[in-house]
Structure 1
């Protein structure tokens, strides 16, 4: 499923979990890194004006659909993809890492949240090895020297899978830099996923997610931060829906 913004285009190139599992397992087996991004409507808004974010997305090896609007558009375009939120991919990826004896690293959020989320992951996946936890300081530059230090630490610790919880666009920028500085590490950008695991943030109940209203739940919990973000998302949605229909008509 392809999305176009001016002269820029990107694709959701991993349609479902089975495909992602196969691709990631192959990278683990070959000890090759990767960068996994989870595309949502907010990212499409940011990609309209942030050239660094565009470059970071171009550096991603795998892109999945994180957000129901992305799934709706794929269906309109007759190129359906499965909803794969970053938060829902953490445990399956950890199980795969444990099966293949791949060490896991956690980067982002806070020290307390990383400690609690690591404990939660190892309790759910007993054979999992979480070897590295790094909470960058406030104002962290994902393209600066401190980022390179963290990336070198991940590689020297033998981390094969690193979950990045820095929020967009920082996590995607960090992953893109990691593909050059730490090429043996697989990076998965998962937003608030670790905070959900640690309990420092509360995810919408399953029934809210089932009726596709998680965005409303999140906005009501934090309207000051999210109201304008979602309004910008709604503003671009009709145009992308029309582009998806046009793709369907073109066959």
Structure 2
């Protein structure tokens, strides 16, 4: 994959994406994910992910190796429409992962990511609201072997990774190699949202596809490269790709 052009890498990711057509289709996806028959990796693809795969072959391989990839965000919707495709529902992790947690009520969950106090607050929230059983709680800055050992020792049924791209995707690929049947979720900032570190945009802003702008206003220094530089680059590549075809 290292010698692929960025267009080929984008085509690889687009070929793996599972477009969710409507709420009934979403329920089918959810139902399949909560009864994994093998180690199953769930990932989310947004404009930032598509920018990252351009310069990172290892990340592209890890992302495309996920068992289920879902479209996340307004940028990906623009890309789909430019390609003449139906983008389906916006399956962002911040909305979908809580539904997964609800479906795992009473089951063993590992929460790995972010830092205290937000990690602890997220776990407390998930225990109280979703009724899951936390079996492992660890910050997101350890080495890979630490998480592999925890997975072997504790055998969680659901692993929520909140480490950000590309670290969580690389770890998910390692966890899926020989692990017991479980669902491994690449959740990005989900633990920060659940733990109160990051605030969701108002619902009307989300409906308009403007949550990225809300987050940029809240964290301009951290998200400047991702959004102010990254979004125009994503749109430029979208135009180049759609002129060329995939």
Q: Please tell me the TM-score bracket, short chain as reference.
A: 0.7 to 0.9
Distance in 1 of aligned mates of 2:58 and 2:129: 37
Match of 1:7 in 2: 8
User: Cα RMSD (Å) of the superposition?
Assistant: 2.4
**What's the TM-score, normalizing by structure 1?**
0.83
**What's the TM-score, normalizing by structure 2?**
0.84
Distance in 1 of aligned mates of 2:193 and 2:34: 26
Q: Is the 8 A contact 1:75 1:81 kept in 2?
A: no
Q: Secondary structure at the match of 2:18?
A: coil
1:43 aligns with 2:46: no
Moved more, 193-202 or 62-71: 193-202
Match of 1:199 in 2: 196
Q: Is the 8 A contact 2:36 2:182 kept in 1?
A: no
Distance in 2 of aligned mates of 1:42 and 1:61: 20
Q: Is the 8 A contact 1:114 1:194 kept in 2?
A: yes
Q: Is the 8 A contact 2:7 2:241 kept in 1?
A: no
1:160 aligns with 2:163: no
Distance in 2 of aligned mates of 1:170 and 1:30: 23
1:210 aligns with 2:207: yes
Match of 1:233 in 2: 231
After superposition, the Cα gap between the structure-2 partners of 1:221 and 1:228, relative to the gap in structure 1 and judged at 3 Å, is: same
Q: Is the 8 A contact 2:45 2:70 kept in 1?
A: yes
Q: How far did 1:184 drift?
A: 1.6
Moved more, 60-69 or 110-119: 110-119
After superposition, the Cα gap between the structure-2 partners of 1:33 and 1:21, relative to the gap in structure 1 and judged at 3 Å, is: farther
Moved more, 56-65 or 205-214: 205-214
Q: How far did 1:179 drift?
A: 0.9
Match of 2:86 in 1: 79
Q: What are the within-5 Å matches in structure 2 for residues 76-225 of structure 1?
A: 76=82, 77-98=84-105, 101-125=106-130, 127-137=131-141, 140-141=142-143, 144-153=144-153, 157-225=154-222
The runs of at least 4 aligned residues of structure 1 exceeding 6 Å deviation read none
How big is each residue's C-alpha offset from its partner over 1:75-102, in whole Å with a ceiling of 9 and x where there is no partner?
332232210111111221012112xx53
How big is each residue's C-alpha offset from its partner over 1:31-55, in whole Å with a ceiling of 9 and x where there is no partner?
4221111101111111001111011
Q: How far did 1:21 drift?
A: 4.1
After superposition, the Cα gap between the structure-2 partners of 1:58 and 1:152, relative to the gap in structure 1 and judged at 3 Å, is: same
Which structure 2 residue ranges, 5 or more long, are not aligned?
none
Distance in 2 of aligned mates of 1:70 and 1:42: 10
Which structure 1 residue ranges, 5 or more long, are not aligned?
none
Q: Is the 8 A contact 1:103 1:129 kept in 2?
A: yes
Q: How far did 1:165 drift?
A: 0.2
After superposition, the Cα gap between the structure-2 partners of 1:220 and 1:28, relative to the gap in structure 1 and judged at 3 Å, is: closer
